Amino acid sequence: MPTTTPRRSRAGRRDSRGDKRRRLIFKSLHDCILAQGYVKTTLADVAKGADMSPSHLLYYFKGKEAILEQYFENVSVSFLEKIEEFGELEPREQIEALADFWFKGEASTVKEIGFMLECFGAAVNDDVLKITKRDFDERCKSHLAKIFDDCPAVFMNNSTDAAEIAYGLMIGLRSAVYFDSDIDPEGAHRLFLTSVLTMSGLK
């Protein structure tokens, strides 16, 4: 027993340091992508930002792709948990909360939208990212369909179709905010909120 307890304690400290290192690596990748894009970011860039050598970084991840795959999954889970918290609200309040989340929250800045688009682009040729993206899309649309199910009217009389359109509208408006100088997050928020409320018979 005397030797077992210290080993558990040391293991706990090692895990804690490892978690901190991984967070530093994720932050470094995030910052590098914002600064120069995913394609131009090298493993050495990420390692430098995390204040470690490339060989040390490889102790935690197999490469740049593995870092993005895990980071994107973490962000997706975090987003989904937040979105699913809205499920206790009334339909109108849920729609308003979603509009605020996508177009007024921390994830709605032009830089963060750009990061999202970088992840989506990388998912085209990365099977792991593609699976995470597909799961995220499906769960978001399922959440929207449940909202439409509880609304007084549904566009096209089909909650699944309405959810597909509403989700496409959200993705499209976020992309427009990044690429189109004629629309900002506030304008996108207004368009999304007005459109979805109209589609649900709440406006």
Work out the mean pLDDT of the chain and round it to a whole number.
92
Dig out the tokens for 130 from the structure. 């593609």
Cα 127 to Cα 2, 69, 79, 123, 143, distances in angstroms? 47, 10, 21, 7, 24
pLDDT for residue 15? 59
Amino acid letter at 167? Answer: Y
pLDDT in tens, 58-92: 999 999 999 999 999 999 999 999 999 999 999 99
Close Cβ partners of 180 (under 8 Å, ≥ 6 residues apart): none
For residue 52, give the DSSP letter. S
Domains recognised in the chain with CATH numbers: 1-61 (1.10.10.60), 64-203 (1.10.357.10)
pLDDT in tens, 121-167: 999 999 999 999 999 999 999 999 999 999 999 999 999 999 999 99
Long-range contacts of 67-72 (CB under 8 A, 24+ apart): 67/25, 67/26, 67/29, 68/29, 68/38, 68/119, 68/122, 68/126, 68/129, 69/126, 69/128, 69/129, 69/132, 70/26, 71/26, 71/29, 71/30, 72/119, 72/123, 72/129, 72/132, 72/133
pLDDT in tens, 85-130: 999 999 999 999 999 999 998 888 999 999 999 999 999 999 999 9
Q: Reply yes or no on whether the pLDDT at 22 is more than 50.
A: yes
Rounded to an integer, what distance in angstroms lies between the CA atom of residue 178 and that of residue 182? Answer: 10
Closest CA to 71 of 101, 44, 38: 38
